[in-house]
């Protein structure tokens, strides 16, 4: 296959938006679409190579997989090795456990499956703290490479036209599944090969149709228009899309078609072709793979060191550093290992096998020991170790207490019925009032599960006017009749959920809806802190004086939570019919910039980033009473 400089330039246009998106620059809210561009490029190049070799009788499955190993493994293993060393030194046990799980999964090219289990959203609040989050796209590609060459060998016998038809049908099925999944099961749709494979197959179809490999018969104006349209489509996706865009469904057609148009029409004679073939773009494109590998670990470890979001200057510096490290990896690792004269196939196979086994072993060891927790805690004095919050100890204890108090919290003849509607935050609040039942005489509290995104879906189903135009994704569609019945049976309704920036307005719309059916409505502030297990470990290991603990904990409040709280305070203030329960004020002093996240006996009040412990629930319930909430 003839080398095309403009495709390397296209790689640069793919990797830079991804880096700036993961850096958190809001202008590049759709920068994640760079991965879609990579998929199209990969499908095109791989298919072109296979077809060229098959046509000359030189194709070999073993050589194909050898090329993939040479291309993927050396730089990947280098980054994984450096990340492992940094994790040993820098990460707290709980985050360490997550890292080691991803380490093993990455070595097995299954990290995309792991991240579905860990989170229901690629854009989740803590995803930016995962050093190997970006390897999910590598997993998708490698899973594709396992089955695709075999598929082509079998389909070859059908003839060219039938193979193109079959690939087209598979791509259509994939995108239909992707669109349905983006609306109903966003995490699997985002991470899995069956719903991302159509983008790779789009590139494969380009190769089969021989688009972009010859300019014969294509008028110059068409090449100019096609390549320019492709560039504009990709740019539109980068700047217009964001984490709330249902993805990867029909919206993903925008960057995918854009990349396909550039590959098909960006010839050396076009403006876009000349731009992409220029030295800066080609230079970045050549090192794009290694750069892609380095950028997310740099951002994630910086966020762990800061235990919050680094400033823009730091993030921009790390973006530049990822390019420099990418160049070094390309020159010192990628090029030598891709050169058969320097590195034999046997060396690749042996090193690849040993490396994979080693990373899997380290990963499983880190998982089984919760990030080598005992080894890390053994370095602390008993007094400092006592500060460490082990959520695996707190959660079962809390569950046992919750089951006990639920049986004793029933009110036979309640004066008032208060429904707590929401996600796990509603369960926490129910525990808080149950543990302090004597403070709320005559009140019967109950809960119904409905998370913040699904409240938006409920409002849509109820045809409520005035709600926000676009609801976030809802994992489990609500049973409208049951929700309505639960609200109707209550005298007052409390909305308690892990609100996010894109669901704050849904909370207010839901509260207004409750007002509309003649019920008093409350909205409980969310509470988010950098994970208590991690925060407590970092403080314990820091050597800071105990008097500095309240200030240290206040600094661990997540900025995204504070933005949501600010929005609630601003938007609820003029609404006399909605009561705002300021949960932050129960545990923190915003004037003094301190948080008391341990009680007077030194026991933790939270066990992760937002859930209370038993002691936290007791304090929570007393604070609700002392501040006059639910008073007659």
| Cis peptide bond prior to 161, omega within 30° of 0 | no
**Mean pLDDT (whole number) for 608-613:** 92
Closest CA to 231 of 264, 203, 199: 264
Q: Please write the tens of the pLDDT for every residue from 343-385.
A: 898 999 999 999 999 999 999 999 999 999 999 999 999 989 9
For the cut 60, the answer to whether the pLDDT of residue 310 exceeds it is yes
* Of 125 and 512, the one with more pLDDT: 512
User: Strand, coil or helix: what is 495?
Assistant: strand
Cα 17 to Cα 238: distance, rounded to the nearest angstrom: 7
Sequence-separated (6 or more) residues with CB below 8 Å from residue 15:
34, 38, 284, 285, 288, 291, 292
Q: Which structure tokens are listed for 38?
A: 């990579």
Burial of 389 (0-12, 13-18, 19+ CB in 10 A): buried
Q: What is the number of alpha carbons within 13 Å of residue 82 lying toward its C-beta?
A: 16
What's residue 212's pLDDT?
42
Work out the mean pLDDT of the chain and round it to a whole number: 90
What's residue 588's pLDDT?
94
What's residue 457's pLDDT?
83
Burial of 315 (0-12, 13-18, 19+ CB in 10 A): buried
Burial of 30 (0-12, 13-18, 19+ CB in 10 A): buried
DSSP-derived letter for residue 379 is T
User: Strand, coil or helix: what is 443?
Assistant: strand
Sequence-separated (6 or more) residues with CB below 8 Å from residue 489:
417, 419
Q: Please write the tens of the pLDDT for every residue from 544-602.
A: 899 999 999 999 898 888 888 888 989 888 888 899 999 999 999 989 999 999 998 88
What's residue 405's pLDDT?
84
For the whole model, what pTM was predicted? 0.88
User: Strand, coil or helix: what is 467?
Assistant: coil
Cα 29 to Cα 27: distance, rounded to the nearest angstrom: 6
Q: Please write the tens of the pLDDT for every residue from 240-295.
A: 998 878 889 899 999 999 999 999 999 888 999 999 999 999 999 999 999 999 99
Closest CA to 557 of 244, 242, 125: 125
Q: Which structure tokens are listed for 545?
A: 């004086």
**Domains with residue ranges and CATH for the chain:** 5-374 (no CATH), 391-626 (3.40.50)
DSSP code string of 140-184: HHHHHHHHHHHHHHHHGGG-HHHHHHHHHHHHHHHHHHHHHHHHH
For the cut 60, the answer to whether the pLDDT of residue 465 exceeds it is no
CB 320 within 8 A of CB 327: no
Tokens 């504070």 locate to 562
């Amino acid at each position: 296959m003839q080398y095309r400089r403009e495709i390397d330039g296209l790689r640069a246009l793919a990797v830079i938006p991804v880096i700036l998106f993961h850096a958190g620059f809001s202008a590049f809210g759709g920068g994640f679409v760079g991965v879609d561009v990579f998929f199209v490029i990969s499908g095109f190049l791989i298919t072109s190579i296979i077809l060229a070799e098959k046509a000359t009788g030189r194709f070999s499955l073993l050589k194909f997989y050898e090329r993939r190993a040479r291309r993927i493994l050396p730089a990947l293993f280098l980054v994984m090795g450096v990340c492992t060393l940094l994790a040993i030194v820098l990460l707290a046990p709980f985050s360490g456990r997550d890292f080691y799980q991803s380490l093993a999964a990455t070595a097995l090219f299954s990290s995309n499956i792991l991240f579905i289990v860990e989170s229901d959203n690629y854009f989740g609040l803590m995803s930016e703290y995962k050093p190997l989050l970006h390897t999910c796209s590598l997993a998708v590609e490698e899973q594709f490479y396992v089955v695709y060459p075999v598929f082509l060998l079998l389909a070859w016998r059908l003839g060219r036209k039938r193979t193109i038809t079959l690939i087209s049908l598979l791509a259509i099925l994939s995108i239909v599944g992707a669109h349905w999944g983006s609306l109903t099961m966003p995490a699997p749709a985002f991470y899995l090969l069956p719903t991302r494979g159509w983008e790779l197959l789009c590139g494969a179809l380009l190769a089969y149709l021989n688009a972009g490999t010859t300019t014969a018969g294509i008028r110059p104006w068409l090449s100019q228009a096609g390549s320019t349209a492709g560039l504009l489509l990709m740019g539109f996706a980068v700047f217009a899309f964001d984490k709330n865009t249902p993805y990867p469904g029909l919206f993903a057609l925008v960057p995918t078609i854009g990349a396909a148009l550039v590959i098909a029409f960006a010839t050396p004679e076009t403006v876009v072709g000349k731009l992409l073939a220029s030295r800066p773009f080609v230079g970045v494109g050549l090192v794009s793979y290694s750069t892609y590998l380095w950028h997310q670990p740099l951002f994630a470890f910086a966020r762990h060191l800061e235990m919050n979001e680094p400033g823009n200057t730091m993030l921009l510096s790390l973006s530049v550093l990822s390019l420099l490290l990418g160049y070094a990896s390309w020159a010192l690792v990628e090029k030598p290992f891709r050169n058969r004269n320097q590195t034999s196939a046997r060396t690749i196979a042996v090193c690849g096998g040993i490396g994979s086994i080693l990373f899997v072993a380290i990963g499983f060891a880190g998982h089984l020991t919760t990030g080598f927790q005992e080894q890390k805690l053994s370095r602390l004095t008993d007094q400092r170790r006592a500060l460490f919050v082990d959520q695996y100890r707190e959660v079962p204890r809390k569950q046992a207490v919750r089951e006990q108090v639920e049986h004793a919290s029933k009110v036979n003849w309640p004066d008032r019925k208060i429904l707590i509607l929401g996600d796990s935050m509603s369960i926490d609040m129910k525990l808080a009032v149950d543990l302090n039942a004597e403070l709320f005489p005559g009140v019967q509290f109950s809960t119904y599960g409905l998370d913040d995104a699904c409240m938006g879906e409920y409002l849509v189903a109820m045809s409520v006017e005035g709600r926000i135009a676009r609801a976030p994704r809802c994992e489990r569609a609500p049973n409208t009749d049951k929700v309505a019945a639960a609200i109707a049976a209550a005298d007052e309704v409390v909305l308690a959920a892990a609100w996010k920036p894109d669901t704050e307005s849904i909370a207010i719309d839901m509260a207004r809806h409750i007002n509309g059916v003649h019920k008093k409505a409350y909205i409980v502030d969310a509470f988010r802190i950098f994970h208590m297990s991690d925060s407590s470990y970092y403080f314990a290991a820091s050597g800071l004086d105990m008097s500095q603990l309240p200030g240290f904990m206040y600094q661990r409040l997540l900025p995204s939570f504070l933005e949501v709280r600010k929005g609630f305070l601003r938007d609820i203030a003029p609404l006399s019919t909605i009561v705002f329960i300021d949960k932050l004020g129960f545990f923190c002093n915003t004037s003094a910039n301190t948080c008391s996240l341990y009680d007077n006996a030194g026991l933790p009040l939270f066990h992760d980033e937002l859930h209370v412990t038993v002691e936290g629930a007791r304090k929570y319930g007393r604070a609700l009473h002392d501040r006059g909430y639910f008073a007659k």
